[in-house]
Amino acid sequence: MPGPRDYTQGTKSALAHLSGGLCYYPGCPEPVLREDEGKYYIIGFISHIRAAYPNGPRFDKTMNDDDRRDIKNLIFLCEPHHLRIDKERPQDYSVETLHRWKEQREASPAEALKRLREVTPSGLKQIVAEGLKARDDKLISALTRLEKTDRGAAMALRSVIDELAEVYSKGRRALDPDLIETLDRASRRLSRWDPVHFSGLESAADKLSRILDSGMVDDLLRASRRFPER
């Protein structure tokens, strides 16, 4: 008779698909699958939400072995999180917590897309702003606590955060100012055009593309650059 760890190939394949190939611990980027020469291998741990055996964490004596090996009771974990959740600190991780992780990871893509579509642009902007503020608040709080025990480490972290902020700021300024000015001038000129002109412009461009070869187009471009800007 199959035991609580005798998973069918169908159960393993379904769990691998639903996991997205990653550990179920929220935010963990560790893969639980590895591809080699076109074949995929499980390198993570198939863990029970309610333990397989009586001495295991979160064991439920009302379940039978079929229930214990059922996909509803299984999650994938990388080795560090498997050790933490099932060996080192099982008391910190309840059945409810692990079920919530499973539901979040295995949420229907259609349902996730539906929830995303319900977010308006202004609402999304607010969500991002609130998320950034919450992140900053957590960083400041953590650094304040760290300063009480290790001032040197806190200062080093503050320095790293400042450097990251500077890199981000430089990234935002990466666009060439001359390019921005050119685009601005072009947009202002186009804004003064009557919309009916654009259809004529499109028609002329289409006709030119049919009657001119690439060399003639290049000649026209070079000639246009000789005229002074008005």
Last residue of a domain, one of 78, 111, 144: 111
Whether residue 104 is found in the same domain as residue 126: no
Whether residue 63 is found in the same domain as residue 32: yes
Whether residue 133 is found in the same domain as residue 97: no
- Residue 58: what pLDDT? 96
- Residue 215: what pLDDT? 55
- Residue 2: what pLDDT? 86
Whether residue 16 is found in the same domain as residue 106: yes
Whether residue 15 is found in the same domain as residue 104: yes
Task: Tell me, yes or no, whether 221 lies in a domain.
Answer: no
How many CA atoms within 13 Å lie on the side-chain side of 169?
6
Last residue of a domain, one of 58, 82, 111: 111
State the angle between helix axes of 151-172 and 121-149 in degrees (0 to 180), rounded to the nearest 10: 150
Whether residue 71 is found in the same domain as residue 43: yes
Q: What angle do CA 134, 81, 46 make, to 5 degrees?
A: 125
Per-residue pLDDT of the chain (230 residues; tens, 9 = 90+): 789 999 998 898 888 888 888 999 998 889 998 888 888 888 999 999 999 999 999 999 999 999 999 999 999 999 999 999 999 999 999 999 999 999 988 875 555 455 445 555 555 555 555 555 666 666 677 777 777 787 777 777 777 666 666 655 555 444 555 555 565 666 566 555 555 555 555 555 555 555 555 555 555 555 555 555 54
The CA distance from 193 to 176, in Å, is 27
Write the single-letter amino acid at 68: R
- Residue 20: what pLDDT? 86
- Residue 40: what pLDDT? 82
Whether residue 85 is found in the same domain as residue 149: no
* Domain span including residue 143: 120-195
- Reading the block at residue 150, the tokens are 């290790």
3-state secondary structure of 74: strand
- What's this model's pTM, rounded to 2 decimal places? 0.48
The CA distance from 68 to 124, in Å, is 40
Structural domain total, the chain = 2
Write the single-letter amino acid at 223: A
Task: Tell me, yes or no, whether 102 lies in a domain.
Answer: yes
- Rg of the chain over Cα atoms, rounded to whole angstroms, equals 30
How many CA atoms within 13 Å lie on the side-chain side of 111?
6
